[in-house]
Amino acid sequence: MSLKQIAISRFANLICGVKLLDNVESAREIAKYVHQLPVHLIDDIFSHLVNTNDEYLSSSEIAILLHSQKKKLIIDDLVNANGSCFDIQLMVDISGCNMMNLTELQLPVACSLPSTICQQLCQQTPNLQTLNLYCVQIHDDSMTAINQLNLRELNLNYTNISDTGAAQLCATNSKIKTTLRILRTYGTRMSTRGHLPIFDSMPNLEDIDSNYSTLTLLNLLKSSHGQQREQGPILSLRRLRTTPIRPNVVKAQHVKMALKICPKIEEIQFERFDEPERVLDLISGFKNLSRLELRHNNDTDYSLEEVVCVLARFCASLTDLKISNFASKSEFFRGKKIYLDFVNLEKLTLTDNKSFPVSRDLIVCFLERCFHLNYLRLCCGALTDDVIFDVLSRNSMNRLKCLSLSNCPELSVFGAVEILKIPSLTMVTLMDSFSREQQEELSAQVDVEKLNLFCADSNLYF
């Protein structure tokens, strides 16, 4: 063991002794001593504690090793899963001004953050940009302290925050309403109407993750303000989506409204929609759109191939496309010359309908025409060895860097071995497609070290 390692070990043992005392003054004295060390050595001691300690770190240990140059602190990764035992007050008292340069902070799940401690925490972290309070026990009155931070991202998912807390975030003296870009309120007690003041007072908000569809919130906003909103302030929202739990049926009029209120949309996720051709035509009006996810719509007879062809006409500039559960019509391409000119498409995910699996022609068509495609994920029961050999015979397959295949029961071990011969691939994921016996057979046929093969239950990672 080197002298450096010995020193690190002794400092770690010294800090561990504070856990037994949980005494603020004693901890502060040790912290002063520790902070005379070079920053990189303090970080080494921190890593040593994390990697060698059989127990989770205490609030005092974290506070002692928190130096003023620290930018990011994810406490949830360092403590017991039951964060209710974590003493935030002790950490705040010991660390003092050493938290002032933190830009990102995540508190432990289930820990308690009373308003008085929250106020002290916010005063000691004036440079925070990201605050993650996921599942933290926090209440509405704490928002009066948080609204004085210049946050860009605030995660309130699964907290007790209600409409009262939302109103506090939007108070007249609030700083956060001009800086916030991302707000997560999923699983809170906020109502749809509780989100109205957020949209009204936060014009720079780019993403909101809530119990409600973005379209529901926009529609409520439009109704509340009448026609004036359509011609008034433009929102900076970048994501437009419905929720899987209570999906809206998206109509052309909804997309038209969104185009007027928030034209900067970059990502769209729809669970169900009517008038596919009209909706997709309007979607093309979002000039910054790069990511699109569409799920099966029970109310339309459109096939997967028809949806893809409409997208190719109206949304050819997409870089990331996900389409799930539409019925595929294998005869669609017969006698037709189809061009899928997604000139910028880099990532494609196709998940088929069990009754109508993704057709070979469609997969081949994407590979032939999408010259920048480097990530392909297929979750389809029709993927057989014959399809794989057909696809492998095409030079376009050699551009792929990442390939993910899920739930492909017709794919054999021999087919998987052939896939691994594609020279350009840097990562292959085969998931839920092989039995344990087949996994062992595959392991015996490939260069495990070269491919970095990892087997875990029903999953294989190369």
Instruction: Please report whether residue 236 resides in a domain.
Output: no
Q: What is the pLDDT of residue 161?
A: 96
The number of folded domains in the chain is 1
Mean pLDDT of 444-449: 61
CA neighbor of 93 nearest in space, from 116, 65, 129, 120: 120
Distance CA 40, CA 45 (A): 9
* pLDDT recorded at residue 247: 62
Report yes or no on 332 lying in a domain: yes
Q: In whole numbers, what is the pLDDT of the chain averaged over residues? A: 81
Whether the predicted pLDDT of 134 surpasses 50? yes
Residue 267 lies in a domain: no
pLDDT at position 433, please?
67
Asked whether residue 167 is assigned to any structural domain, the reply reads: no
Average pLDDT over residues 327-350: 77
Q: What is the CATH number of the domain that holds 385?
A: 3.80.10.10
228 pLDDT exceeds 70? no
Residues of the chain with pLDDT > 90: what percent? 29
Q: Over 80: is that where the pLDDT of 299 sits? A: no
* CA-closest candidate to residue 216, choices 188, 196, 187, 189: 196
pLDDT of residue 431: 74
Check: CB of residue 346 under 8 Å from CB of residue 371. no
Model pTM? 0.82
Most distant pair of Cα atoms in the chain: their distance: 82
For the ranges 3-7, 149-153, 400-404, the one whose mean pLDDT is highest: 149-153
59 occurs within a structural domain: no
Residue 28 is assigned to a structural domain of this protein: no
Report yes or no on 450 lying in a domain: yes
Cβ atoms of 112 and 89 within 8 Å: the answer is no
Among the ranges given (31-40, 164-173, 320-329, 382-391), the one the predictor scored with the smallest mean pLDDT:
382-391
Domain membership flag for residue 283: no
Domain containing 444: what range?
Answer: 291-461
Confidence of residue 96 (pLDDT cuts 50, 70, 90): confident
Model confidence at 71, pLDDT cuts 50, 70, 90, reads very high
- Give the lowest-confidence range in 265-279, 295-309, 320-334, 401-415: 295-309
